[in-house]
Amino acid sequence: MTAPQAIALQVNGERVEAHVLPRINLADFLREHLKLTGTHVGCEHGVCGACTVRVNGEIVRSCLMLAVQANEAVVETIEGLSDSGEISDLQEAFRARNALQCGYCTPAMLITAQELLKVEAEPDRDQIREHLSGNYCRCTGYQAIVDAVEATAKARKNKAPRNRDAGRAP
Ligand code: FES
Ligand code: FES
């Protein structure tokens, strides 16, 4: 049997050191070793998107990445994004618009939507659908999810000018 390997990484701002078997994927490592069960596992083949997390600032499917490949990486999960408040408005919009039912797809959907909103201030509905097309939802029919992302984009855009103006001379 292959021996466990030592890895060290940052997860949600905290340094983590562990010994893992080379075959353990990042999703299982997060869920089983670190008990970060907000990262869900659906297909385990890179199709459904339920296991989406951020690694070094980019979203990845953690079922397709080995834990040993995350050595020295910076990993952010839904727990980290929630605790920091980064997506609190997006979470509130999902709640307000009933954009989740069973909730299985929701953590990954939020992480993926946030990725879009970081680079595109006012995405149209087609852009939102396209960006979320790799994340499957078996409950909602997607309409309410697109509504929530669109509403969050508009709310953030309305906030932005006030923030910019705040530092300006009259
Ligand atoms: Fe990773 Fe489906 S569980 S993409
Ligand atoms: Fe159930 Fe999306 S809310 S899979």
Q: Residue 112 sits in which domain range?
A: 86-159
Whether 152 maps to a domain, the answer reads yes
- Nearest one of 30, 32, 40 to 102, comparing CA atoms: 40
50 lines ligand 1 (CB under 6 A): yes
Binned at pLDDT 50, 70 and 90, residue 2 comes out as confident
**Is the residue at 166 inside a domain?**
no
CB atoms within 10 A of CB 79: 18
- The per-residue pLDDT for range 93-133, each reduced to its tens digit, is 999 999 999 999 999 999 999 999 999 999 999 999 999 99
Residue 169: C-alpha distances to residues 63, 82, 124, 165 (Å): 50, 35, 33, 8
Q: What is the CATH number of the domain that holds 22?
A: 3.10.20.30
Ligand 2 site, residue 104, Cβ cutoff 6 A? yes
Query: What strands lie across the sheet with 74-76, from one edge to the other?
Result: 14-20, 5-11, 74-76, 52-55, 58-61
pLDDT digits (tens, 9 = 90+) for 17-27: 999 999 999 99
Query: Rg of the chain over CA atoms, in angstroms?
Result: 17
Residue 41 Cα: closest atom of ligand 1 = 3
Q: Which of 70, 61, 160, 63 is nearest to 111 (CA)?
A: 61
Q: Is residue 107 located within the same domain as residue 121?
A: yes
Contact 46, 136 (CB under 8 A): no
